[in-house]
Amino acid sequence: MNHSKRHAEILRIVQDEGTISIADLADRLGVSLETVRRDVKPLTSDGTVMKMHGAIGLPAIVGEAPFERRMRENSEAKRAIARLVATTILDGESVMLDTGTTTSYLARELLGHRRLTVVTNSSDIARTLATVNGNRVYMAGGELRSDSGAAFGISAIEFVSRFSVNHAIISIGALDAVAGVMDYDLEEAEFARMVLSRGTRSLVVTDHTKFGRQGLVQVCGFDGFGELVTDRAPPPDIAAALAAAGTRLTVAGA
């Protein structure tokens, strides 16, 4: 593939994914890291794509909420995770979901299910699953955040603490081999911790880009949830921590 064709392919991939790491881009194109960096340089210089730490992405769209941008990031991986998890949920069961892009994709994959009971703090998830197929949807109250349309705080935590569900599922910001599940916001971490405690099955869903990241606030250790569903096998240190805690690992597509 020549230089100009690679530029076009890079733009197509970034438009599909939202963001992609330089290493993943090199794999997709079948070229070296040095070649990708050289090809990307003029695209970042003229503002066509935005350079981040070890990755590139689309420039922010004026007026677009951060949550909407995150929905495009690694979208295929998130859909694959959501499709797999949806197959493990049966009609008539109860599901608790916190706000997150992967859990929002899961809500869309659950549109074919019937008579679900759904508990969430996400207005996106509530809108997706309410009033269809005999579902019952309970949404935690409180002030909705402008970026995600989700409710947080004491009232939201107290609301979901009243429920016991079949499947308690959270989407996360970071997964560290020592600290475990982490997030970047105190209220989001506190809410996610409560969600995990309310399910017969407790499940963390995340794409591989969260592996090895250090968040600001710990949600729980590796013994604080029963299963991790992701799109790629985690690095050895995280895999070892999961095994030591007895936490099940499921890789979508594996």
pTM of this structure: 0.74
How much is the pLDDT for 92? 98
How much is the pLDDT for 68? 66
Give per-residue pLDDT as tens, 52-73. Answer: 767 888 765 434 446 666 667 7
How much is the pLDDT for 5? 80
Question: CA 88, CA 100: separation in Å to the nearest integer?
Answer: 19
Cβ-contact 111, 60 below 8 angstroms:
no
Region 217-233: mean pLDDT is 97
Q: Which amino acid is at 21?
A: S
pLDDT at 234 over 70: yes
How much is the pLDDT for 73? 75
3-state SS assignment for residue 117: strand
CA-based nearest residue to 155, from 140, 177, 134: 140
Sign of the C-alpha dihedral computed for residues 41, 43, 45 and 48 taken in this order:
negative
- The angle subtended at Cα 53 by Cα 48 and Cα 56, nearest 5°, is 25
Region 14-26: mean pLDDT is 83
Give per-residue pLDDT as tens, 22-55. Answer: 888 999 899 999 999 999 988 888 778 887 767 8
Reported as half-sphere exposure (CB side, CA atoms, 13 A), residue 3 has a value of 7
Question: CA 234, CA 245: separation in Å to the nearest integer?
Answer: 15
Cβ-contact 190, 227 below 8 angstroms:
no
Region 123-136: mean pLDDT is 94
